[in-house]
């Protein structure tokens, strides 16, 4: 008997899922919430094996909710069921701790199969999602070993920036004008596609990690 929780703000969809699960032998729906706040309150009590999680929720996003749930219940298996299929959302969800990702257009049988699959140690994904995930590995090398085409000066500056130095300090260390440092930073931000020093530092810090990370 697999116990399941549902987090889905659309009442119709939620009830359909609930019915689907209750009508299937071996499955039981122990909790159905319409927002992340309720989920964080009720799911730890219900202690389900698997959570079906929508991403578009009022207030607290499904991603945030997933992350916090995994903190509270590290063993719970979260399957995202959503309409969003853009790469960023998918990766954020997986990083938050989801171990499955289905699109809402999936057939009911696919959802049931996914629940069984996570229980057996799998990671059910719609095929497009799986492809995105695999491609993330292939595009990992570029940002990894190859610090993107930064100038020598640019690299020196970024390095110190990532160590927490302010522009003024960097300027002093390199015997430059603050404006020059700022000018270089503008170039760097453009190349890294970021808009702030902390984002740039974040890019820098995870340059050289083998697995994924877009």
41 near 70, Cβ under 8 Å?
Answer: no
Minimum CB–partner distance for residue 205 and its own copies (Å):
5
* List of residues contacting DNA (CB under 7 A): 149, 151-154, 166-168, 174, 176-180, 182-186, 189, 195-198
Torsion angles phi and psi, residue 209, rounded to 5: -100, 130
Spatial CA neighbour of 198 closest among 170, 171, 158 = 158
Q: How many CB atoms lie within 10 A of CB 125?
A: 24
Q: Which stretch binds its own copies (CB under 8 A): 14-22, 45-53, 103-111, 168-176?
A: 168-176
Site for its own copies in 38-67 (CB under 8 A): 59-61, 64
Q: Which stretch binds its own copies (CB under 8 A): 5-13, 14-22, 180-188, 194-202?
A: 194-202
Minimum CB–partner distance for residue 164 and its own copies (Å):
3
- The token pair at 128 is 């497009």
Nearest to its own copies of 139, 177 (CB atom): 139
From the list DNA, its own copies, none, which binds 123 (C-beta under 5 to 8 Å, kind-based)?
A: its own copies
Nearest to its own copies of 178, 194 (CB atom): 194
Give the C-alpha separation, 71 to 190, whole Å: 36
Minimum CB–partner distance for residue 22 and its own copies (Å):
25
Q: Is 33 in the site for its own copies (CB under 8 A)?
A: no
Nearest to its own copies of 52, 94 (CB atom): 94
Q: Is 141 in the site for its own copies (CB under 8 A)?
A: yes
Spatial CA neighbour of 196 closest among 162, 150, 154, 152 = 162
Among 41, 47, 56, 131, binds its own copies (CB under 8 A): 131
Q: Which stretch binds its own copies (CB under 8 A): 11-19, 22-30, 43-51, 128-136?
A: 128-136
């Amino acid at each position: 008997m697999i116990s399941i929780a549902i987090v889905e703000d659309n009442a119709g969809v939620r009830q359909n899922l609930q019915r689907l699960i209750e009508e299937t032998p071996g499955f039981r729906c122990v909790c159905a919430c319409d927002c992340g706040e309720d989920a964080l309150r009720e799911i730890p009590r219900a202690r389900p094996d698997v959570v079906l999680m929508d991403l578009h929720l009022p207030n607290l996003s499904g991603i945030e909710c997933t992350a916090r749930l995994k903190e509270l219940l590290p063993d719970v298996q979260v399957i995202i069921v959503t309409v969003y299929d853009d790469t960023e959302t998918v990766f954020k969800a997986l990083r938050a701790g989801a171990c499955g990702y289905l699109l809402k257009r999936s057939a009911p049988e696919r959802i049931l199969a996914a629940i069984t699959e996570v229980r057996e140690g799998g990671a059910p994904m719609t095929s497009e999602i799986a492809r995105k995930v695999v491609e993330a590995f292939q595009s990992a090398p570029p940002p990894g070993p190859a610090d993107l085409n930064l100038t020598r000066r640019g690299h020196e500056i970024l390095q110190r920036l990532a160590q927490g130095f302010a522009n003024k300090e960097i300027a002093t260390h390199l015997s430059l004008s603050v404006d020059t440092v700022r000018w270089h930073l503008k170039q760097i931000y453009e190349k890294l596609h970021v808009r702030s020093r902390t984002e740039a530092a974040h890019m820098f810090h995870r340059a050289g990690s083998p697995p994924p990370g877009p």
